[in-house]
Structure 1
Amino acid sequence: MLKPILILEDDPSAQARIHNILKTFGYLDDDLFFSQTIEKAKQIHEQNTIGLFLVDLNLPDGCGIEFIQSLRQRHEQNVPVMVLSAWNSIETIYKALTVGARGYVLKERDDVEVMFAIRTMLKGEAIIDPGIAKEILKKLHLTQRRAEISADANIQANLSSRELEILNFIASGFSSREISEKIHISRFTVDVHIKKVYQKLQVNSRTKAVHLAKQIGLLS
């Protein structure tokens, strides 16, 4: 077991709940330090080698994220920190994880779920509340999609009107000679435009150019 454990939590009822949960793991009172403020938590930490931190965020003298950040600034990168908080905004969660928390669980979870989270931390693994993980994945997907849309828009902006015209002819199955006859330019010039289309789409064949162009909306 990781011990001692420092619990940074200002709500007495939440402290009692955590105390009872930790007792089920076999922890004794001497293994647990409770603090209602960041300042006191820092004092306890200076006087003891802590094995695990359970940290709330909304505290009388500041945000628990500041405390986690202070731990990491002291080069204690390997000490596990789990946030147990009612705050569920994605921005707050990201910040807590970014500064060094390895777990984030919502207080609204029942005791069995909190026990599972703590057990996971005790095994040296990371844990993120399932509801939070779902929101994070949604945000990541949205960010990725926005990046894809931006990249697609850049490709469309980079293709000239002539290149788009020739790309449409390629999609319709016309050869370079047939395209040259339709738009009244030399076959050599058509081939130059096709090579530029390949370069901008980062492909090396007509089939791949058409397939990608359809995927990103350049062709219907």
Structure 2
Amino acid sequence: MATLAPPTTLPVRVLLVDDQTLVRTGFRMVLDAQDGVEVVGEAADGRTGIDMCRTLAPDVVLMDVRMPGMDGIAATALIAEECPESRVIVLTTFDLDEYAFAALRAGASGFLLKDVKPAELLASIRAVAGGDAAISSRVSRRMLDLFSQRLPAGHPDAGHDAVAALTPRESEVLSAIAEGLTNTEIAQRMFVAESTVKTHVGRILMKLGLRDRVHAVIFAYEHGLTSHRRRG
């Protein structure tokens, strides 16, 4: 009886969008040295990035925020609208960059600092390509503080219609996501298996029509569904 060959895992196809040649070169060198990742193109501005995204259909776009012409925010919004299968990770120099926040609102699935370590960059690319989200662990809590400052204060009943389909447990998981907890941390808090949490997260995203965890956090803040408090 013939033995079937195992299925081939396709590499994650990445598009680099940054106006600085040295930055693109640095990221390409890091990614080219990794198995399972393929850099399919480079663009020096947002408009070119969108055109290449339409043509190349990358799995992940590493998007700079500040660029001449069309910046990363506008480019991210158009990619989210026109190339929904391509996920965007925003790259910025400053961990509380208001432009990065705006890009997340525009549809980005991740937020990383440009000095991210290669291992974290690779893990983030793979996570986003798999439908998850990626926010640098070193700034995730501060990003939540930024969310609470930038978003309008939600009313407890404001999201009633949108969350009516959620079970009590799913609502609890959504609130925990908004606090910045990982699946592991949520599982420990609720005394359930991590796989159970993953199932809840998937159902929450599906029921609310959200792309990933980043947008679940934004949704929770906009609709007053979190008990997170600002610092200070």
TM-score, normalised to structure 1, is 0.56
Task: Please report how far the alpha carbon of residue 140 of structure 1 lies from its aligned counterpart in structure 2 after TM superposition.
Answer: 5.7
Q: Confirm or deny that 1:49 pairs with 2:57.
A: yes
Q: Which position in structure 2 is the counterpart of 1:136?
A: 143
Q: Which position in structure 2 is the counterpart of 1:151?
A: none
Q: Deviations over 1:22-46 (max 9, x none)?
A: 12333687x5200111222222223
| Distance of 2:107 and 2:21 partners within structure 1 | 26
Task: Please report how far the alpha carbon of residue 57 of structure 1 lies from its aligned counterpart in structure 2 after TM superposition.
Answer: 0.8
The percentage of aligned residue pairs carrying the same residue is 18
Task: Please report how far the alpha carbon of residue 120 of structure 1 lies from its aligned counterpart in structure 2 after TM superposition.
Answer: 2.3
Which protein has greater RCO, CA pairs closer than 8 Å, 6+ apart? Answer: 2
The 3 A distance-change label for structure 1 pair 119 and 49 is closer
Larger radius of gyration: 1
Residue type of the alignment partner of 1:25: Q
**Contact 1:57–1:87 (CA under 8 A) maintained in structure 2:** no
| Distance of 2:108 and 2:40 partners within structure 1 | 19
Q: Confirm or deny that 1:108 pairs with 2:115.
A: yes
**Contact 1:2–1:51 (CA under 8 A) maintained in structure 2:** no
| Distance of 2:12 and 2:85 partners within structure 1 | 14
Unaligned runs of 5+ residues in structure 2 are 1-9, 156-232
Secondary structure at the aligned position of 1:4 is classed as strand
The 10-residue stretch of structure 1 (20-29 or 82-91) with the greater mean CA deviation from structure 2: 20-29
Secondary structure at the aligned position of 1:59 is classed as coil
Q: Which position in structure 1 is the counterpart of 2:34?
A: 25
Unaligned runs of 5+ residues in structure 1 are 149-220
Task: Please report how far the alpha carbon of residue 72 of structure 1 lies from its aligned counterpart in structure 2 after TM superposition.
Answer: 2.3
TM-score, normalised to structure 2, is 0.53
Q: Confirm or deny that 1:63 pairs with 2:71.
A: yes
The 3 A distance-change label for structure 1 pair 139 and 59 is closer
Q: Deviations over 1:68-115 (max 9, x none)?
A: 1111232x3342111122143353333111111001000122323322
Task: Please report how far the alpha carbon of residue 143 of structure 1 lies from its aligned counterpart in structure 2 after TM superposition.
Answer: 8.8
Task: Please report how far the alpha carbon of residue 8 of structure 1 lies from its aligned counterpart in structure 2 after TM superposition.
Answer: 0.3
Q: Which position in structure 2 is the counterpart of 1:80?
A: 87
**Contact 1:2–1:122 (CA under 8 A) maintained in structure 2:** no
| Distance of 2:148 and 2:76 partners within structure 1 | 28
The alignment of Structure 1 onto Structure 2 pairs a total of residues equal to 145
* Correspondent of 2:25 among 11, 16, 34: 16
The 3 A distance-change label for structure 1 pair 111 and 62 is same
Q: Confirm or deny that 1:36 pairs with 2:55.
A: no
